[in-house]
Structure 1
């Protein structure tokens, strides 16, 4: 008979294992020596121990699901209980008991993590809803509309809550968007109505101006044209293309009248020379506005100059192009300053630039976090991959931030 601390082989070749509950038969051996029999069954024990070690490592170092880990544990526990092996089976059972406790701990940790994630998601969605409800009353139509669209994208990226909570929050979120949309439609409907009213009023003014264009009552008709100009300015603006067309007809009618008056008064050179002197003074006054500093003040000053310019009347024909060119230079400078101001303050372009910079920054932050995890895990191939992605993304982020900074210049 042969034996070791955990088992023995009797004279008939029966192999026993020793446990805390006593001996039990694990097999028989007739093909060789008792030592070979014990070595064989000890190897089977080592095989079970290796499997337990692998499961311990997976549970403690990977994200193995608790359900799968528990199933593997029960399978190994059955192997230990029924094992046809020689070794310290009680020690293996204790290891499995300890591993079971670890699995339960991991299960509770993950349950707590899921609860925390749900709480964070709920807080994030509450915040989105609150912002959407605030934006619902905004009159910054482009900026608020862009922000609401960005909030929708953020919402879609968040996990779902339980159905009741998620539906309640979504209802509030959707209602806020609907309120904003309704207000915006009403605003633009009102704006369209105002523009239609302005169009109708200016069409009437154009008709009056064209009817006066053939008049030879020079003084009275000139006064009427000045009155028409005052009413034109008070009528508001129609749609841009219609406004430009009506203005061309309105100015054209005035030009017809004033050109006719000029032809009649062509002999009054002295008056026209005096007009020239007055317009030269106005041109010089207008040129003092250059370069444009205070745009609002410059526009107001130019409007006043233009009104006085129109009121002066005609100048000698050969002097007119130069004078008009001088005033035109100032007008162009103001238009260019207006265009530049609009480009600097364009809320839609600024919001797009800010949104793109924010999205790229968020992606860069996530890549940095993933990179730190990969470095901590010693995953060299993933580190290299993430570093390459981050380098490419950084170029795009730098460009986006540069574009955004241009709006603050």
Structure 2
């Protein structure tokens, strides 16, 4: 395996974005002969690693929050570039060579499976090339070349730890430090590196261990004999993890996240914090990583709650839409506006699809139930519309038949010249037409045109006749107005007989003149009636004056009054002689009244005389 496949240079690692933290696996195998126990240990580690990756994949498919939570336990030693720890054993050369070859092949195959499973669990990982590197190693079971470990430049003489014995290092290949899958800092603070180194140690055989809480873990091997130089890359890896957590914390302060981003962030935390192969205060790292996981989960829960609210609003909106369609279908067919309703039903499916694209998706049972209601409403609407228009066609046919009968009767009378009765007959037909049921607009319009044409033919002829009659009547009016002037000049008081004779002549000519316009008829008739009343009154007065019976009655009344007056005069004389004032007053009043009556009678006698 080449150096580029094992680790990234510091400048390239620093350029990696925080959200591109990936599970990059680089296999490092030891060429030292190993015992069967060491082979079993490596296989168990790979099996545990593969099992954890499969669990993460299943959890992620089960749900975003569940996948993140199931991936938290750090069951296998994985952090960025994975390295195999080889146990230093001393066996015979022949047995060692055979065991080393078997171990290399089995470990490479297991690493390839673990890498593939890890890639499936995190589809968004950007470090597929690193995983591919692990797969390539598994496909070629040759012993990989040793990977050189970066060394700091010597700074003069310094104390050196006791060097491992040649026997301990015989036949061993150096194991590279496990670098974190995190962006490497461009520069590291020497003080921070020194503080991190305090948690690590290097054994005489090159085994590197770290104080992880209450336990000591083996995290790799090295051929570097200088203690500080051996721990240098492991301490820098620790600082890279610190930088990774800083970047994760910074990412969590963003105002908005998608759920996929938060799930990917949790997955990266899980991968990077699985027993990290670094030297430093690992419990502090885990505590901070746990806090960040809780922050991410809290954001996920907030997104879930917001999504639940959105789904509830979407459900309410869809339900209201379905209810509006159902209310439309429940409308009385006679009251519904079929044009508008048809347009609403045509837009039903596009509106539903638009709501699907705009709103948060509903759960399948709810959406299916609403769609079934919507589909049932549409089917009911189609049946109702079909039934309504079928009945409407029947009513239209009946209306058309009734109106055809009315049209036939109207056309039969259109040439009549019997104006009065025909006008009344047409008025009756018109009332029947209004009471007839409505037909289709097109048919109704056509039938109305025929009916009205028959009416128009009759009334046009009638109006033409009326125009001729009106012209004739205006001439008659002129004649009658001249007769009125002649009649109003008569004076029955002077010569009653002459006035009566002239009036009879005027009346005869009046009848011969004929009809006048209706608007002038009453006016001229009233004037003629006034002349006739004046002549009649004069005739009555003359008759009363010359009536013998009236004259005899007047003379008799006059004679009686003369006798009565003579009698009352005697009574008055007696009353005066008696000196009774009351009798005198009564006699005087009675005498005066008879004298007045006598004066009236005498005037009448003179009028009659």
Equivalent position of 1:89 in the other structure: 282
Shift of the 265–43 alpha-carbon distance from structure 1 to 2, 3 Å rule, reads closer
Instruction: Tell me the alpha carbon deviations over residues 55-90 of structure 1, each in whole angstroms, 9 at most, x when there is no partner.
Output: 444456432436534432321122xx141x322222
Equivalent position of 1:360 in the other structure: none
Q: Aligned with 2:211: secondary structure?
A: strand
1:50 aligns with 2:223: no
- State the Cα distance separating 1:272 from its structure 2 match: 7.8
Equivalent position of 1:268 in the other structure: 469
Does the 8 Å CA contact 2:213/2:282 hold for their aligned counterparts?
A: no
Does the 8 Å CA contact 2:202/2:227 hold for their aligned counterparts?
A: yes
Report the number of matched residues. 271
Q: In the aligned structure 1, how far is the partner of 2:288 from the partner of 2:222?
A: 29
Equivalent position of 2:46 in the other structure: none
Equivalent position of 1:74 in the other structure: 270
Q: Aligned with 1:133: secondary structure?
A: helix
Q: CA RMSD in A?
A: 3.8
1:244 aligns with 2:244: no
Shift of the 223–19 alpha-carbon distance from structure 1 to 2, 3 Å rule, reads closer
Higher share in helix: 1
253-262 vs 44-53, which moves further:
253-262
Q: In the aligned structure 1, how far is the partner of 2:473 from the partner of 2:397?
A: 40
2:326 is aligned, of 115, 133, 144, to 133
Q: In the aligned structure 2, how far is the partner of 1:169 from the partner of 1:223?
A: 63
- State the Cα distance separating 1:207 from its structure 2 match: 2.0
Equivalent position of 2:185 in the other structure: none
Shift of the 23–175 alpha-carbon distance from structure 1 to 2, 3 Å rule, reads closer
Q: In the aligned structure 1, how far is the partner of 2:380 from the partner of 2:424?
A: 50
Shift of the 120–28 alpha-carbon distance from structure 1 to 2, 3 Å rule, reads same
Q: How does 1:132-211 map to 2 (within 5 A)?
A: 132-138=325-331, 139-141=335-337, 142-143=339-340, 153-156=350-353, 157-158=355-356, 159-211=360-412
Q: In the aligned structure 2, how far is the partner of 1:152 from the partner of 1:251?
A: 47
Shift of the 250–76 alpha-carbon distance from structure 1 to 2, 3 Å rule, reads same
| Larger RCO, structure (CA 8 Å, separation 6 or more) | 2
Instruction: Tell me the alpha carbon deviations over residues 224-251 of structure 1, each in whole angstroms, 9 at most, x when there is no partner.
Output: 2222222222224433333333333223
1:63 is aligned, of 258, 273, 282, to 258
Q: In the aligned structure 2, how far is the partner of 1:201 from the partner of 1:189?
A: 19
Does the 8 Å CA contact 2:200/2:280 hold for their aligned counterparts?
A: yes
Equivalent position of 2:317 in the other structure: 124
Equivalent position of 1:336 in the other structure: none
Q: In the aligned structure 2, how far is the partner of 1:194 from the partner of 1:113?
A: 56
Greater C-alpha Rg: 2
Shift of the 186–21 alpha-carbon distance from structure 1 to 2, 3 Å rule, reads same
1:221 is aligned, of 399, 418, 422, to 422
| Structure 1: unaligned runs, 5 residues or longer | 275-409
Q: In the aligned structure 2, how far is the partner of 1:132 from the partner of 1:245?
A: 37
Q: In the aligned structure 2, how far is the partner of 1:110 from the partner of 1:12?
A: 52
Equivalent position of 2:200 in the other structure: 7
Equivalent position of 1:256 in the other structure: 457
2:213 is aligned, of 14, 20, 35, to 20
Q: Aligned with 1:252: secondary structure?
A: helix
Q: How does 1:325-340 map to 2 (within 5 A)?
A: none
Q: In the aligned structure 2, how far is the partner of 1:262 from the partner of 1:153?
A: 61
- State the Cα distance separating 1:145 from its structure 2 match: 5.1
- State the Cα distance separating 1:7 from its structure 2 match: 3.2
Q: Aligned with 1:238: secondary structure?
A: coil
Q: In the aligned structure 2, how far is the partner of 1:117 from the partner of 1:184?
A: 36
- State the Cα distance separating 1:50 from its structure 2 match: 2.6
| Structure 2: unaligned runs, 5 residues or longer | 1-159, 162-193, 476-609
Q: Aligned with 1:215: secondary structure?
A: coil
Q: TM-score, normalised by structure 1?
A: 0.53
Q: Aligned with 2:273: secondary structure?
A: helix
Shift of the 207–118 alpha-carbon distance from structure 1 to 2, 3 Å rule, reads same
Instruction: Tell me the alpha carbon deviations over residues 80-104 of structure 1, each in whole angstroms, 9 at most, x when there is no partner.
Output: x141x32222222222233333444
Does the 8 Å CA contact 2:206/2:224 hold for their aligned counterparts?
A: no
Equivalent position of 1:381 in the other structure: none
Q: In the aligned structure 2, how far is the partner of 1:167 from the partner of 1:272?
A: 85
Q: In the aligned structure 2, how far is the partner of 1:262 from the partner of 1:150?
A: 56
